[in-house]
Amino acid sequence: MGEYTDNFDACLQKEAPFCGAECPFHMDVLDFVEKTRKGMWNAAFKAYRNATGFPHIASALCGAPCKSVCPLAARGGAVEMPLLERACLAFAKDKSATAYNVPAKPRRVAVVGAGISGLSCALRLSAKKYDVEVFARGERVGGKLWDILPPEIFLKDIEEQFRHEEYALRLSSPVPDRDFLNGRGFDAVCVATGAGGEDFGLLRALGEGGGPCLRDGASAWFACGALIGDEGARALAGGLHMGTVIDNFLKTDKLLYPPNAAQTRMVLDAARLTDAPPVAPQNGGDYAEEEAKAEARRCLKCQCDACRLYVDLCEFTGKWPLRVRDEIAATTLPGVSEVKATPAKRLLSASNLAPVCREVCPARIDLEGLILEGRRSMHRQDKAPWAFHDFWLRDMDFADGPEAALCRAPVGAARCAHAFFPGCRLGAGDPRLVEAAYAALLAKRPDTALFLRCCGAPAEWAGDEEKHAAALADIRARWEKLGKPVLLFACPSCMEVFARGIPEAPRRSVYEALDEWGAADALADAAGVAGAARESGARGEWAVFDPCAARRDAGMKSAVRRLAASAGCRLAPLAEQERIARCCGYGGQPAIASPDFAAFVAGKRAAESELPYIAYCANCRDALRKAGKECRHILEILFDAPSATADPRLATVTEHRRNRAELKRRLLAKYWNERPAIRDESASEGPRLKIGEALLAQMDEDRILEEELRAVVAFCERTGRRVRDADGDAYAGYHRIGRMSYWVEYRPLEGVEGVELLRAYAHRMEIELEAVWNGVKQEADV
């Protein structure tokens, strides 16, 4: 899985926002703003104080460099961070210093200089409980602060922040040279003597990382503050940074002095930017509480979150790609254990696999590729939850089986230039659309072959590489037998599967062929669609929903729009979907693993416009209709099928199979004069079933076929393994078919052969029961 996980190292999730990177204190601005937005003033103050050391001094010195990089600077005005900082200082009730309960450390540190840099370094180190001594040349602390700030601001702040710390302050104690401190047993020395002050040779020495530092005997010496060019808030931040540098040195004995600077690779989605001016204080000075909260709400919370905005799985689960990667890595790790964590076992199958992440992610992280590889890994290890994909694989087997599959050249055509591959879902939902499209194609290209079967996507999505490869091999062999024709696809997903699996086969959409050959008009004429219905705008306004599999196929998308316009539809753009084509919720077949996720995705796509949709993928049409959206397939529009004027009930999973079989029979009869025997369902195992609409809908939701329940009732009646309702004439029983356990409640119909089905459900699990007869343990037949 390395080819998919390696580029996760480039993920920008944890990149600092622009303001945080520019801030000399590298404060967690997002956290501060969030607390301010909520009016959590004490918490906001602590966040600010922990970042700046001396909050009142920092606020007074801050030149707001963050405002110069705020994305809102050019869209009405940057977030007013200085005013938010002052609001935090004004409204916090508890501004007392924190007493840290940390064991004392035996290492000694000297700080030369009692200006803002030296004091902030001493504060950071004394809070970590090092033995700190500050040597000041003058008789007071503060250094240049006396020249730029009122003493009542900085002296009180210094006193409060040092209130719980123990350190030695040596006033009027100049340090003449390095030997003066080296002989006193200091492990490290911070030199913060100010602009033009004594540097003790440090400015000519550069340590690892580029900062001025050196070793002198047992001591390490570092320079910071105005001595190295930092002024104002940067001098304060530089002293805090020096405290961290010295702390790291004392822990590792490495003379490492990295610069107090941060860079960010942050990328912000421009679509999030809106014009909004800053909140102006009514008093002309500082914010009132509600004004501060309102200004905090303007913050964009800059974060590289394209995945959370556009990748449905991330939005639905609330998980970032890095977490998804870690959960997949833990789940797919080889080995089996009762205590081994498998956090992504369901998540792996609850993804629509639309390749949105790598298209919107600045680092091009292929989250969907990782998920698909995770499914393959689970299948190779025989750890994949079969229940999530069993139905789809059995449905694929039916579509490829003798009742539904058909691969034929027209009568008299030894080799074919084209072959129509409608996909298994289009004919399953409405076989008339396949018949009409094929008739139109034959009217223009009589040598067009017909190719009815599944493309193999369910096997690929299940991670079953062997089954998928076998499907592609069979398709390739049949395509070659037809003479290697150009394949005309009605399903963009099928076309995408072929592009990956049989790249040598030439491909184009059937919609381009219908448009280019003028076959759409022939199709409409054959259906008797009145010319008035095809006049411009006669059918009202629609939006075309582009499937994710057609995201890069400009020819297909343009052809569909021309066909819709020629059929009398006035088209309006579906801006979001046209910008980033996202899945309808069907791709990857997540509906069994997570029906809530599938419904969430379809609902989001349906809500993107109030207009009815035109789809050209049968999966999209069905998913959107199920979500309550008025949606027509482009072939319904062209064919003017009854379903194009009234929203029909979607075909059930049972009807899907019947429709496929019926489509094959009708096409064989029409074009090859063959009339295969019609399967008499009444002759299949089990009695006739009477099923109410509510139960039919539930069976469809649970992917339960009528023939399966008929077999269960037959088993119960034949074996007598059933129980009767004591208060009525209903029976209940169960039977396992394959790996599925089906349960039914039914009662015989009066006067006719058959039963009324009252309830039915299925467990996607294997049930093992044991029976004991005469002291001998026996496996029960379930």
What are the pLDDT digits (tens) for 457-491?
Answer: 999 999 999 999 999 999 999 999 999 999 999 99
Of all helices (H) and strands (E), which one includes residue 381?
Answer: none
Which residues, in sequence order, are bridge partners of residue 763?
A: 741
The average pLDDT across 535-553 equals: 87
| Residue 659 belongs to a domain | no
- Do 468 and 553 lie in one domain? The reply is yes
| Run of H or E residues at 63 | none
The CATH code of the domain that includes 734 is: 3.30.2310
Characterize the bridge pairing of strands 776-779 and 770-773.
antiparallel
Identify residue 353 by its one-letter amino acid code. Answer: L
- Neighbouring-strand partners of residue 489: 421, 509
> How does pLDDT run across 659-711, given as a tens digit for each residue?
999 999 999 999 999 987 766 554 456 789 999 999 999 999 999 999 999 99
Residues 464 and 521 in one domain: yes
- 163 shares a domain with 77: no
Please report the sign of the dihedral spanned by the C-alpha atoms of residue 432, residue 566, residue 561, residue 576: negative
d(CA 46, CA 605): 43
User: Are 126 and 78 in a shared domain?
Assistant: no
Residues 427 and 532 in one domain: yes
State whether 444 and 572 are in the same domain.
yes
CATH number of the domain residue 178 falls in: 3.40.50.720
Contact 188, 107 (CB under 8 A): yes
96-112 pLDDT, tens digit each:
998 889 999 999 999 99
Tell me what pLDDT residue 782 has.
Answer: 36
In a domain, 775, yes or no: no
pLDDT score of 535: 59
Asked if residue 518 and residue 447 are part of one domain, the reply reads yes
268 within 8 A of 305, measured Cβ to Cβ: no
Q: Is the pLDDT of residue 162 over 90?
A: yes
Instruction: Kindly state whether residues 57 and 147 are assigned to the same domain.
Output: no
Q: Are residues 495 and 442 in the same domain?
A: yes
Last residue of a domain, one of 361, 381, 401: 381
Within a domain: 39:
yes
Average pLDDT, the chain: 91
**Domain boundary at 631, 654, 677, which?**
654
Whether residue 674 is contained in a domain is answered as no
Region 339-366: what's the mean pLDDT? 88
Question: Total structural domains in the chain?
Answer: 5
Tell me the per-residue pLDDT of 202-232, one tens digit each, with 9 for 90 and over.
998 876 777 899 999 889 999 999 999 999 9
Q: What local confidence, expressed as pLDDT, does residue 339 receive?
A: 54
Same domain, 28 and 151: no
pLDDT at 268: 86
> For 104, how many CA atoms within 13 A lie in the half-sphere containing its CB?
7
Domain membership flag for residue 261: no
Task: Report which of residues 250 and 770 the model is more confident about.
Answer: 250
Residue 668 lies in a domain: no
At residue 107's C-alpha, the angle toward residues 102 and 111, to 5°, is: 100
Beta strands in 479-630 (DSSP E): 486-489, 507-509, 541-545, 570-572, 613-615
User: What is the Cα–Cα distance from 155 to 135, expressed in whole angstroms?
Assistant: 18
Contacts of residue 256, Cβ cutoff 8 Å, sequence gap at least 6: 207, 208, 209, 245, 248, 249
177-181, 190-194, 260-264, 593-597: least confidently modelled range: 260-264
In this predicted structure, the answer to whether residue 767 has a pLDDT above a threshold of 60 is no
DSSP H/E element including 349: none
413 and 368 inside one domain: no
Residue 199 has pLDDT above 90, yes or no: yes
Could you tell me the two tokens for 124?
Answer: 């950071």
Does pLDDT of 779 surpass 60?
no
For the entire predicted model, the pTM comes to: 0.84
* Whether 246 and 278 share a structural domain: no
In a domain, 662, yes or no: no
Domain-embedded: residue 114: yes
Q: Which domain holds residue 91?
A: 18-95+267-298
How large is the average pLDDT for residues 142-157? Answer: 94
Among candidate residues 381, 404, 436, the one where a domain is terminated: 381
